[in-house]
Amino acid sequence: MSRQTSGATWFERAATTVLPVALGAGVFIVAFIHVHDVACWSGQPSWASWLIAMTGEAMAVAGLAAITSRRRADAPIKWAVFVVVAAVLFSGACNLVAVLHRTGPGDPPGTVLHGEPGVWVGLMAVWPVLAFGLVAGLKATKPPHTDDETPAADVPRQTSPVRAAGYGRLYRDGGTAPDGGHMPTATADLAAIRVGENGTSDHVGVVVPVAAAWARTGLSDVDDDLAGHNGEHSNGHTGQSSLPPLGTRPAPAAAPVPAPREPTPAPARPVGDVTREASGGELWDVYTDADGRHHRVHAGRDDDATPPLTLAPATPPQPERAETAGPRLPAVQFRAPEPPAPAAVAATGSGAETDVSDLLDDGRKVRDGLAAAGRALNRSTLHAGLKERGHRAGTRRLDALLRELRAEPVGAGR
């Protein structure tokens, strides 16, 4: 019986999965050929006819997928159904036209369909744009993604009841179990406390002094140590906590706030000498501070053999100097130029004679040439004539040579 049931289940699953796919593939092939023939018959190019042939089936698949997705999200499916209906009507109309206008034996070879396409010329020209608009509407009307589960932040968190053992251990449900050998005879089950109702955190919902009497079925050395700790928190016979109730416990005393300390005034700094005086068996230091006020400070008794004390005046503070680790540069000293020696003055004076013997012969030629040309003899003309003959002379030598030439008559020295 079970084999028959299992076989029927397998057959049903295979039939419901394979048959729709096979049927859809066959319909797709037939409709694809008919839409292509109608597009070619309407005057569309060959490549455009193949593209138009795919639009109807592609629209149907997109619409069916949108219907499945929107039903899962509980969203409207009207637009998706409209897209599927439009694709089915377009493919069905093309199939019908292809059958009604199929070629006969008398039609010329190469003819796809006979007759006039009529309205199909405009329909095939507009259909690609209409198909795109319908599929784009599926994307535009897609509902936002919604989660099936409620976010964890919207669900109020609850804490589990707190169970207290007789020896003072606290744990939660599902936490660490008590040690072997101890069986609780009483369990404190508390109502769940929502986080934030009593100011607690999400780790412990509420803490109360709960104690339970435990039956000791077998103690080990560790249990003996825990027994002493148990007596500090609860009474093992009555199961009552030795601590007072939570509401009756006194609030902890606030820590005293220390009073602010008044700043201690700094002692006056003496300016000048400090003189110690003896008066009535007591010693007093007398001095004046920086503000000009006089101070008299007790220094001790007169019979304590304290010698008179005179303090030197306080040294004024010196400004701090920045120490540099780099090498120090040597100081630069500027000195005035020393006056020339008397011998140098005598050598460069107006009375000193300048040697112009090497220029005298050519200078006479320049003088005679200027006289023959009717030009005046001066420093400029003399310098130009000497320069033509390959001589270079300074102003001092030109002046000395000019004096020599003017002292001689023209034509002298030939």
What confidence tens digit (pLDDT) does each residue in 278-317 have? 777 787 888 788 777 877 888 777 765 455 555 566 666 6
CB proximity list for 205: less than 8 A, separation 6 or greater: 158, 159, 160, 162, 192, 193, 194, 195, 198
Asked if 188 and 212 touch (Cβ cutoff 8 Å), the reply is yes
- pTM of model > 0.85: no
Half-sphere exposure of 322 (CA within 13 A, CB side): 2
Tens digit of pLDDT at every position of the chain (414 positions):
445 455 568 888 878 888 888 887 887 888 888 898 899 888 889 899 899 989 988 898 999 999 999 999 889 999 999 999 999 999 999 989 888 888 777 777 767 787 888 888 899 999 999 999 999 998 888 887 655 444 444 444 544 444 444 444 444 444 444 455 555 555 555 555 454 444 444 444 444 444 444 444 444 444 444 444 444 444 544 555 555 565 565 666 666 777 767 666 556 666 667 777 777 778 788 878 877 787 788 877 776 545 555 556 666 666 666 566 666 666 666 666 666 555 444 444 444 578 888 888 888 888 888 888 888 888 888 888 888 888 888 888 889 988 888 888 877 766
Structure tokens at 171: 């744990």
